[in-house]
Structures are given as structure tokens and as C-alpha cells.
Amino acid sequence: MSNAPAKTPAAVGGWTPLRRLPAVRPARDRSISRIGESNVNGAVFMFDGSTMMPMTLRRLALPLLVSVVVTCGCTVGSDGSPDGSTSGGSPALTVTPAPLLPATVDALPSMSVEEFHMLLTQLEGSPVVVNVWASWCGPCKTEAPMLAAAATEHPGVQFIGIDAEDSRDGAERFIDSYGVPFPSVFDPDGAIQTDLEVIGPPMTVFFDADGNEVARAAGELSQDTLDEHLAAISE
């Protein structure tokens, strides 16, 4: 008997035997291999059931997810607003910059009587019109467009609203509905209103540039009354 080694199939005719591959585990209903196609960052990937393709997708998706999270984190402010600002409202008409004057029409900061007097002091040098209003007040709704127009037409006069005994939601809707362009402060318990000796809204008080009260109008304003008092404090 010959001791020569037996010929392997690879040595016969130059062919290479097929190797048996391990069985592929059937894909679950929601696995990536059954989805068939996915779009990641604009590129389309086709899946053929291979166990390597889902890993490729995960490797591509992770940097994309991190990028999205970082981007969102840069645009969210400390107060949770989308752009990091404290308020999303329109800038309020401002004649004299003052630290206590709200910067936007819907900021509606709560303010004590003492703080309101400090605000009036900060505004000395400009005539001031203080309008006491509330969103539930019918006459306030009637005079609001007239006051909004006057504030725009008299850039040298600072208009300020006092939202008295009201809700913030109602006040914000009022400001938006009537296009109020000047700032307002929130007086939920009516303390500022009482200090101004106002029984209830509406009431409008006119101050000259020295901070002296020149006139006041109780109830709904007429155009003639508004024009007369504006002329008096603008002299």
C-alpha cells in the first residue's frame, strides 16, 4: 500500500469546495433586515438581511443623533424658550431706556407699588401716559386701538399699561388681539391701581416730562380727550 497522502478535492481539477455558511437567524418583524430601506442623512441604504448592515446603520446614526442633540442644546435658553430669549413678544415702544421698563409688549412683569414709582422716576425727561386696563373690561377693548395708534404717532411720549386684576393668559390675548405696541406691567391684586386712586379700569393718567400729573381721564377715552391731554404734556 502506498504511503502517499490522499488527494484533497482542491487538488482535483483545480476546483475549490464550497464552505457551508452558518445559518442566518430569521429576522424579527421590526428588524432592519425586514424594513428593506432606510434613509440616513440624505443617503439611501438597502438591506439584504445581512447582520453587518444594521451595525453599519447604527454607526452612521449615532454621530447624526449626537449632532442633532448638540444643535438643539445650543438653541434652547435657560428658561426653555426656543431661542434663549425671555419672551417671544414684539419689542415694546420705548422712548427713554429704563431698567424697569419691559422690553417686549407681552413681558408683563409683576411690579410692586414702590417699583412702579421707581419706573416713573426713571422715565423723567419724557412725557408719560399710564393706561390702566384689563382684558375683561369692555371699554378697555373699545379704546385700545386708539391708544395703540396714539403711541405710534407720538414717538416722544412713553405709554405704559397697567394690567390690573387680570389673568396673564387673558392679558396676552388682549395685547395680541389689539396690537398693543407699548409695554405693560402686571398688577394682579390691583395695588398699583389703588395707589393711583383708580377705582377700576379703564383709567388714563397723563404725566409731563418732569413727572408731574397733568390730567387724568376716568372711563373710556374719546379721541378729543386723548388729543387734548397729549398736547398738554407735550408742550
Length of the chain: 235
Sorting pLDDT into bands at 50, 70 and 90, what band is 88?
Answer: low
Please tell me the predicted confidence (pLDDT) of residue 121.
96
Q: What is the pLDDT of residues 49-85, one digit of tens each?
A: 444 444 444 444 444 433 433 333 333 333 333 333 3
Q: Is the pLDDT of residue 16 over 70?
A: no
Q: What is the pLDDT of residues 96-148, one digit of tens each?
A: 889 999 999 999 999 999 999 999 999 999 999 999 999 999 999 999 999 99
**Could you tell me which residues come within 8 angstroms of residue 128 by beta carbon, excluding any fewer than 6 positions away?**
120, 157, 158, 159, 160, 206, 207, 211, 233
Higher pLDDT, 200 or 29: 200
Q: Is the pLDDT of residue 13 over 80?
A: no
Q: Is the pLDDT of residue 161 over 90?
A: yes
Q: What is the pLDDT of residues 178-228, one digit of tens each?
A: 999 999 999 999 999 999 999 999 999 999 999 999 999 999 999 999 999
Domain edges within the chain = 27-74, 113-233
The pTM assigned to this predicted structure is 0.64
- CATH class, range 113-233: alpha beta
Opening angle at CA 216, ends 234 and 176, nearest 5: 85
Q: What is the pLDDT of residues 147-159, one digit of tens each?
A: 999 999 999 999 9
Residue 146 near residue 222, CB atoms below 8 Å: no
